[in-house]
Amino acid sequence: MEKNIKNKKQLTELRQDLVTGDWVVIATGRAKKPEEFAANKRVVIEEDSTKPCFFCHPEETGQEEDVLMYQTAEGEWSLRVFPNKYPAFSRGRIPKHKEEGPYFAMDGTGYHELIITRDHHRQIAHLDTLAVAEIIDACQDRYINLMNKKSVNYIEIFHNHGKEAGASIVHPHTQLVAIPVISPYIQGELDGAEDYYRASKKCVYCTMVEWESEHRKRIVFENADFLAYCPFSSRSAFEVWVLPKKHKPYFERINDKEKMALAEVLQTTINRIYTALEDPAYNFYIHTSPCDGRDYPHYHWHIEILPRTSTWAGFELSTGIEISTIQPEVAAEYLRNI
Decide if pLDDT at 258 tops 70. Answer: yes
d(CA 223, CA 204): 21
Mean pLDDT for 302-330 is: 92
Q: How many CB atoms lie within 10 A of CB 297?
A: 13
Domains of the chain, residue spans: 13-65+119-338
pLDDT for residue 46? 78
Decide if pLDDT at 179 tops 70. Answer: yes
Angle, helix 256-277 to helix 129-146, in steps of 10 degrees = 120
What architecture does CATH give domain 13-65+119-338?
2-Layer Sandwich (3.30)
Mean pLDDT for 29-43 is: 79
3-state SS of the chain: helix, strand, coil percent to 5?
35, 25, 45
Decide if pLDDT at 9 tops 80. Answer: no
CA atoms within 13 A on the CB side of 322: 17
Decide if pLDDT at 5 tops 70. Answer: no
Decide if pLDDT at 61 tops 80. Answer: no
pTM of the entire predicted model: 0.93
What percent of the chain lies above the pLDDT cut of 70? 96
- For residue 11, what pLDDT band results from cuts at 50, 70 and 90? confident
pLDDT for residue 92? 66
Decide if pLDDT at 31 tops 80. Answer: no
Decide if pLDDT at 264 tops 90. Answer: yes
- On average, the pLDDT of the chain sits at 92
Of 89-98, 265-274, 303-312, least confident by mean pLDDT is: 89-98
What percent of the chain lies above the pLDDT cut of 90? 76
Torsions phi, psi for 114 (to 5 deg) = -115, 135
d(CA 76, CA 78): 6
Mean pLDDT for 239-261 is: 98
Decide if pLDDT at 8 tops 70. Answer: no
Q: Where are the beta strands (DSSP E) in 36-123?
A: 68-71, 77-83, 90-91, 97-100, 103-106, 109-117
pLDDT for residue 4? 46
